[in-house]
Amino acid sequence: MNNLAPSRVLPTASRASLPAVIAAAICIQAAQGIFDVSLALRAESAGLSATAFGWTGAAHTLGFVIGAFLAPLALRSLGGYGVLFVACLLASPLAGLGWVSSEALWLPTRLAAGFAFALLFAATDTAVLDTASVANRSRAIGVYVTFERLAMIVMPFAFAARLSAPGTLAYGVGCLWMSLLPGRTLRRSHPRAERLNLKLWSTAQAAWRLAPMPVLCAFAAGALNTSVIILLPRWVHGELGERAVPVVQAAAWLGGLAVQLGVGFLATPRLRMQIGMWLAPAAAVALLGIPLAATIGLPYAVLAGLLLGITAFSQYGLALISLAEIATQRNEPPPTSALVFAWGTGAVVGPATCSAAGLYAHPAALFTTIGILWPAVTVAGWLTQRGTGKGKRAKMRA
């Protein structure tokens, strides 16, 4: 997953090179693409149950949330390049999971890796915001997100025949360390500082007052999408074989990327969030159709994955764009960190709940349950907008 980190860093006298920042992000997302698929298949080969792997997914997200909370402090204390180096160290033990079958070792390793990826994303995301001029910032973010997402989609195809091989995870760690080469430009950004004022609760309140629907969609994306992402590679692997895994995975991510780019160019900020809200029932259709799609054949599984990406995997990106642009229209600083924590909270609660309920052991039951839950996002959004509208009218009358 990609999150634009809080941009509350000190002004820099010398900005990082945007192409270099994008190159570093490509390496990081290439590693993410390998881990997203190979970790699930390696856990299966190592004998971890789907339920146990769900717990490791929740541990990864918990580490990510903690890392997102501490990332501004890390950037100010270590600088952008220092954060990249420390994060690579923390994530390197992932390579060893190719040969480890102990859940007691998987959990802390995934927790540390989640923390590391939060730092990695914070370093590159914040560098993009600092590097691009205000006039070109939206375009720069669009290019940055497109290239890194494509890297995440394409990389698993390089290992399509050996995604479950023990050594494949080591290639992912190698991609992380490669990010240090272009990442050297981050030495000049995010200089050291001694103090940091973290106001997470006030930031969350500001985001909710500004636009509650993006916050709701970010939480839903974390709670519902993360559980699907955890199980999807194992389900495709069991139904259609190893070579089909990156194909279905790519279809899902491409669907989400296409919607984010298309809606980003063609719609207004508020319409974008309306689109996200009304895509939620369609996500239910996609998820209810996934168990049937694989029994029919790979083309239908790819189509189901594409529809899943369009309807569900696009939700966080739409929420991020909408919140940032609504804040810009009102001349307020965008409280994007609130979306990180809304997503992260959901991404811990969702997998933990599914693991406790044993849903990962029954893919059809998990897909059906999450499919039934997606329309609740539309209902919650409608009620929230109705309540917000009544509140505004009451203030006007007063």
* Sequence ranges of the domains in the chain: 16-189, 199-398
Question: In whole angstroms, what separates CA 115 from the centre of its chain?
Answer: 13
Percent of the chain with pLDDT over 90: 37
Q: Is the pLDDT of residue 115 over 90?
A: yes
Residue whose pair of structure tokens reads 């501490």 in the numeric block: 70
Exposure b/e, 86-96, CB count within 10 A at least 16 = b: bbbebbbbbbe
**pLDDT for the residue 162:** 83
Side-chain half-sphere CA neighbours of 360 within 13 A: 30
**Cα angle value 118/302/56 (rounded, 5°):** 35
**pLDDT for the residue 130:** 72
CA dist 329 and 339 (Å) reads 18
Tell me which DSSP letter residue 58 carries. H
pTM beyond 0.85: no
Overall average pLDDT of the 113-137 stretch: 80
Q: For the chain, what is the radius of gyration of the CA atoms?
A: 20
Cβ pair 83, 75 in contact under 8 A: yes
SS3 246: helix
Q: Is the pLDDT of residue 264 over 80?
A: no
CB atoms within 10 A of CB 178: 18
**pLDDT for the residue 29:** 93
Q: Is the pLDDT of residue 14 over 50?
A: no
Helix pair 269-296, 363-373: axis angle to 10 deg: 160
Cβ pair 219, 395 in contact under 8 A: no
Structure tokens at 93: 């033990």
Residue whose pair of structure tokens reads 């940091």 in the numeric block: 196
| 243 closest CA partner among 229, 233, 231 | 233
Q: Is the pLDDT of residue 67 over 50?
A: yes
CA dist 168 and 69 (Å) reads 30
With a CB cutoff of 8 Å and minimum separation 6, the contacts of 119 are: 67, 71, 74, 83, 84, 86, 87, 90
Tell me which DSSP letter residue 6 carries. P
Question: Element (H or E) spanning 387, and its range?
Answer: helix 375-397
Supply the mean pLDDT for the chain. 81
Q: Is the pLDDT of residue 398 over 50?
A: no
Q: Is the pLDDT of residue 190 over 70?
A: no
Overall average pLDDT of the 6-25 stretch: 63
CA dist 227 and 235 (Å) reads 12
**pLDDT for the residue 254:** 92
**Cα angle value 73/130/255 (rounded, 5°):** 95
**pLDDT for the residue 177:** 96
- Note the CATH number of domain 16-189: 1.20.1250.20
Residue whose pair of structure tokens reads 């992380």 in the numeric block: 176
**pLDDT for the residue 50:** 85
**pLDDT for the residue 192:** 45
Cβ pair 188, 131 in contact under 8 A: no
pLDDT, one tens digit per residue, over 275-313 is: 777 888 999 999 998 888 878 889 999 999 999 999 999
pLDDT, one tens digit per residue, over 195-232 is: 444 556 666 667 777 778 888 888 999 999 999 999 99
pLDDT, one tens digit per residue, over 303-359 is: 999 999 999 998 887 787 777 777 767 776 666 677 778 888 899 999 999 999 999
CA dist 245 and 48 (Å) reads 19
Cα distances from 137 to residues 28, 113, 175, 207, 260, in angstroms, run: 21, 29, 27, 21, 16
Matching CATH topology for 16-189 and 199-398?
yes
Q: Is the pLDDT of residue 73 over 60?
A: yes
**pLDDT for the residue 186:** 76
What's the CATH class of domain 199-398?
Answer: mainly alpha
**pLDDT for the residue 194:** 38
Cβ pair 188, 337 in contact under 8 A: no
With a CB cutoff of 8 Å and minimum separation 6, the contacts of 228 are: 287, 308, 312, 366, 367, 370
Q: Dmax over Cα atoms in the chain, in whole Å?
A: 67
